[in-house]
Amino acid sequence: MILIGTLFVVAACGDYQPFGGPLPFPTPAQHDLVVLTRPGALTYTADEQGNAAGIEHDLAELFAQELGVGIRYVVVPPEQMESELANGRYHLAAAWLSPHADEGYAATPPLFQTRDTLAQHEASLPLTDLGQLQGKTVHAMAGTRQAATMQRLSRQIPDLKVVEVGQGTILDLLEALGERQVEYVAIDQTLEEIANQYVPSLRASLALSDEQPVVWLLGPRPNAELAARANAFVERIQHDGTLARVEERYLGHVHRLNQADVTKFLGQMETTLPKLRRHFEAAETVTGIDWRLIAAIAYQESHWDPNATSPTNVRGIMMLTEETADRLGVGNRLDPRESILAGARYLNLLKEQLDAPEPDRTWLALAGYNIGPGHLNAARSLARQQKADPNAWYEMKRILPLLAKPQYYERLKSGRARGGEAVILVENIRSYYDILVRHELPARPVAPGVERMIGMQGGSAPGLKLRH
């Protein structure tokens, strides 16, 4: 999960003008595609290095690529969205929006379907009927569709109080719910499974609205050609799998962990992680892999137990096989420092064997970490035979379980493998990583002298190669 940027207006866009006529049609090297959006887990987020992501962001990037033009974002807080929509100084608004009440605002065909729902603490009596909101206080983020839904309901339900929150993010508000500081929160249904990773005590049992489409708004006076291109783009990605792949990138893993898994992990983050963090950060210094991802791998492998041992003699906090440990020069697999550094180096070696784009490259390498590079390569060959993309994790999630079926593995030199378990491992690691990114800060900078010393102690062995 990536940190939500507290961005208000990003006007680093040569085409963006707060006043004046319609924007020029986006053209290569002349006029960028101007996208109006807002910060959020489903829309536009930025990590510590300023790299942007989000479902809406990725889709807008794909549309700009199809047009062959650059892209510039106007990022505003939710409470300013309505006024920005009215001024028309954008080509499209991609901010998890439903069709505008004013029919003059053109919109694309639906990208997704969603509804507003009520989140409450698991310990509170679940509400199952809108009439039970009488006398209750419900919080919602200011300027959102959920706030508008609650204001509408407050005119129908006696003594329903609505509090619109103008600071922080929806995840901050839901964490306040988890701590019993607020009683009820109105959220987008799509956000529920993401939020469950951070607030395992959250429950959503009451629908606040009917199902509504999520669309791109094209403004009150859209360019006819641009509207036609946007509509055609949305229809195409719905049918060729592009939309499903983008959705999987952000939502495909979030339903794997249950409440007990998340609660236990959050507890271990407080008690066990502080003792190991320096080893994870040292491994990041050597390998460049985010220490939080290395920690997520270690938790999935051993629950951060340096003495973990499997019946097949896979051992240590990173659960290294004896063969892998020997090739990486590990003297003691039960030494957490050695094991963590070796596991991170091994992941890098696996990534070097792949030419997939990120983040698919990392997810594929994690699958190889579990089943070995030989089985991963066999699965990728099988993907090609099945007319699937071997570089797309979305596709490989379907292919990997086939390695356990005789009609497939009997034709492979590598033989049988538990590919389905590899998929589960990767999806769990993705969830643990999201939680760590939400709660733990990036690694502190390391002095160059210390970095050289760490590298001398644990750098990659010259000429080390993986067997296939």
Q: Residue 162: beta bridge partners?
A: 138
Distance CA 329, CA 458 (A): 9
Distance CA 258, CA 22 (A): 49
Distance CA 151, CA 81 (A): 17
Distance CA 425, CA 419 (A): 10
Residues 6+ apart with CB under 8 A from 152: none
Taking the CB of residue 465, how many other CB atoms lie within 10 A of it?
10
Strand locations in 104-251, DSSP E? 106-107, 112-114, 116-121, 137-141, 161-165, 184-188, 202-207, 212-219
Q: Catalytic residues, which ones?
A: 301
- Looking only at the bridges linking them, the beta strands covering 33-37 and 212-219 are unpaired
**182 closest CA partner among 208, 207, 211, 202:** 202
Burial code (b: 16+ CB inside 10 Å, e: under 16) for 187-199 equals bbbbbbebbbbbb
Residues 6+ apart with CB under 8 A from 143: 77, 78, 79, 80, 81, 82, 164, 166
Cβ pair 45, 55 in contact under 8 A: no
Distance CA 13, CA 9 (A): 11
Residue 129, CA atoms < 13 Å, CB-side half-sphere: 3
Cis peptide before 359 (omega within 30 of 0): yes
Cβ pair 390, 357 in contact under 8 A: no
Distance CA 401, CA 392 (A): 15
Distance CA 276, CA 64 (A): 43
DSSP secondary structure code for residue 159 in this structure? T
